[in-house]
Amino acid sequence: MSIWFRQPTLEQLNALSANTLVSHLDMRFIEIGDDFLRGTMPVDARTHQPYGVLHGGASVALAETLASTAAACCVDTARYICLGQEINANHLRAVTSGLVTGTTRPYHIGARSQVWGIEIRDAAGHLSCISRITMATVERRRV
């Protein structure tokens, strides 16, 4: 059974990211399942820290991008917006090049909050980062 309120296409999700941090770091949404969203990010000069390894902040940006996008797909976006309240990450393994792939799945989808887990793996499938984010679901303000 699908968790999505609406399930956009990958093309729609990738188009929404034009001219944002997501496009600047070349993040791409690559798969939507019944209960997960998956995306990639290159490990290169844009995402390196000075020591030549993937910057932890870039990993967190990928994690939040995946989870906040997934969270928005679980609500009626005409009425609600999902906003990050807290995020944490554990960086487990250095990555120096290639592509990392993140997968997010929900731990909790409630009326006012959502909690998502994110795993980021290197090209060989080794776990490089785990993250968790809490999202607030709030009504859109009328202008």
What are the structural domains, with CATH classification, of the chain? Answer: 10-139 (3.10.129.10)
pLDDT tens per residue across span 107-128: 999 999 999 999 999 999 999 9
The pLDDT mean for the chain works out to 96
Is 143's pLDDT higher than 70? no
The pLDDT value given to residue 89: 98
Residue 14 to residue 132: CA distance in whole angstroms: 22
Catalytic residues: 64
Count of all residues that appear for the chain in the document: 143
The pLDDT value given to residue 7: 86
Residue 53 to residue 107: CA distance in whole angstroms: 30
Q: What percent of the chain has pLDDT over 70?
A: 99
- Exposure string (b/e) for 112-126, b if CB count within 10 Å is 16 or more? eebbbbbbbbbeeee
- The one-letter amino acid code at 141 reads R
Give the N- to C-terminal CA distance of the chain in Å, as an integer. 36
Q: What percent of the chain has pLDDT over 90?
A: 95
